[in-house]
């Protein structure tokens, strides 16, 4: 059993006590990580997750995909810097999208960079830039893996103009990459900028791009767009989710034929209350059923923001991935994983657990 013990600076030199085997790993932080337990820590804590090398897992606002018996966790590689408006912004990347693999969701192996930034100033992926909220789905028709993300060109500063708020697209033959950058564009038309986004592959193998569309007057609302058969382009089939105005960080799940859309308010890096919308058809109409979070700090989504959701193989269990953003040092953002639970009326809810095991929900 691989066990992680995390200590703050208290006389223990973490760098001299790392040991990757069936014993112990020492790192920075305060919270123990177990081989069969997800550890989220307290609401104000940034728990450090490490891979089998003892390195901090650097895969932000991405997702998890299950392929041939293996879970693959991917996300943007951020930098050990704080929030800034210059090239020193830690939320921009000079690396790209990282990938990790695991057979048990606890021990993670670093697989490498699957979509890299470029060192060429003329290249659209020249860093620092942003591939924010990358999402990957598999196309059973083309047998390709397709990634969409919120594209923000060099130096990774959010703007309204083209090249700073668009949908970036890439594809690969394998989940381990390399992914080939197709380009960036704006679904629907050029007047609406692309902000937070996600991909959704429906049970009928039709794919959709959901995103926060911001207009020139500052108004914004979530939209859903059907993708082409190869998943590389948007189509003219789309809908505005009117009820989801000023909502971002979309996470879409489907259960018993119903669509559940978990969202965050638009408040910059400040945590806020989640809200969930429900529909029988992905194009709507959608209904607001309120905040899915229950208990202490539900009004801040447990000091985190939704990222993605995935099903656990062999169990009737889905996990929602959230992130506790550390704007002083983005490498030390905390990954918050929680079980998605359903009440007697089949409405989803989230309850915070400082630590929990699969099959042991409260």
Bridging pattern class, strands 220-227 and 234-245: antiparallel
Say if residues 177 and 188 touch (Cβ distance below 8 Å): no
pLDDT of residue 6: 29
Q: Tens digit of pLDDT for each residue in 265-289?
A: 999 999 999 999 999 999 999 999 9
CA separation for the pair 336, 356 (Å, rounded): 11
47-to-19, 92, 242, 335, 361 alpha-carbon distances in Å: 19, 21, 37, 7, 21
| Overall average pLDDT of the 54-70 stretch | 97
- In the DSSP assignment, the letter for residue 359 is T
Domain limits of the chain? 31-356
CA separation for the pair 362, 351 (Å, rounded): 8
| Overall average pLDDT of the 146-153 stretch | 98
CA separation for the pair 259, 286 (Å, rounded): 9
Taken in order 208, 142, 115, 329, is the CA torsion positive or negative?
A: positive
Taken in order 147, 151, 153, 154, is the CA torsion positive or negative?
A: negative
Question: Which residue has better confidence, 232 or 20?
Answer: 232
The pTM for the full model equals: 0.90
pLDDT of residue 155: 97
Query: SS3 for 28?
Result: strand
32 has a pLDDT exceeding 70:
no
Question: Could you say which of 2.115.10.20, 3.30.9.10, 3.30.420.40, 3.40.50.720 is the CATH number of the domain covering 31-356?
Answer: 2.115.10.20
pLDDT of residue 36: 83
CA separation for the pair 224, 342 (Å, rounded): 25
CB atoms within 10 A of CB 94: 17
183 has a pLDDT exceeding 60:
yes
Q: Tens digit of pLDDT for each residue in 304-356?
A: 999 999 999 999 999 999 999 999 999 999 999 999 999 998 899 999 999 99
Residue 359: which pLDDT band, with cuts at 50, 70 and 90? confident
CA separation for the pair 128, 254 (Å, rounded): 35
């Amino acid at each position: 059993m691989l066990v992680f013990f995390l200590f703050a600076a208290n006389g223990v030199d973490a760098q001299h006590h790392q040991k990757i085997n069936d014993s112990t790993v020492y790192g920075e932080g305060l919270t123990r990580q177990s081989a069969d337990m997800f550890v989220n820590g307290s609401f104000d804590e940034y728990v450090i997750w490490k891979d089998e090398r003892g390195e901090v897992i650097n895969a932000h606002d991405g997702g998890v995909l299950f392929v041939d018996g293996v879970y693959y966790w991917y996300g943007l590689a951020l930098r050990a810097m704080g929030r800034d408006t210059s090239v020193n912004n830690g939320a921009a990347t000079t690396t790209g999208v990282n990938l990790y693999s695991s057979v048990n969701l606890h021990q993670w192996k670093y697989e490498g960079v699957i979509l890299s930034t470029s060192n060429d100033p003329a290249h659209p992926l020249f860093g620092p830039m942003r591939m924010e909220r990358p999402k990957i789905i598999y196309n059973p028709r083309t047998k390709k893996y397709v990634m969409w993300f919120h594209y923000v060109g060099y130096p990774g500063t959010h703007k309204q103009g083209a090249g700073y708020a668009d949908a970036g697209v890439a594809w690969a033959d394998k989940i381990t990459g390399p992914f080939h950058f197709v380009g960036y564009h704006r679904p629907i038309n050029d007047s609406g900028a692309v902000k937070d986004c996600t991909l959704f592959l429906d049970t009928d193998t039709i794919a959709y791009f959901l995103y926060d569309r911001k207009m020139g007057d500052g108004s914004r609302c979530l939209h859903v767009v059907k993708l082409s058969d190869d998943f590389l382009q948007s189509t003219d089939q789309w809908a505005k989710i009117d009820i989801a105005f000023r909502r971002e960080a979309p996470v879409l799940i489907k259960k018993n034929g119903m669509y559940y859309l978990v969202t965050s308010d638009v408040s910059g890096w400040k945590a806020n209350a989640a809200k969930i919308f429900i529909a029988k058809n992905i194009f709507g109409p959608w209904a607001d059923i309120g905040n899915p979070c229950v208990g202490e700090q539900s009004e801040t989504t447990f000091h985190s923001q939704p990222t993605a959701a995935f099903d656990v193989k062999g169990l009737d269990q889905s996990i929602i991935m959230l992130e506790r953003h550390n704007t002083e040092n983005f490498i030390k953002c905390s990954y918050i994983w929680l079980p998605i639970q359903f009440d007697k009326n089949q409405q989803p809810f989230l309850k915070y657990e400082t630590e929990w095991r699969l099959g042991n929900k409260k």
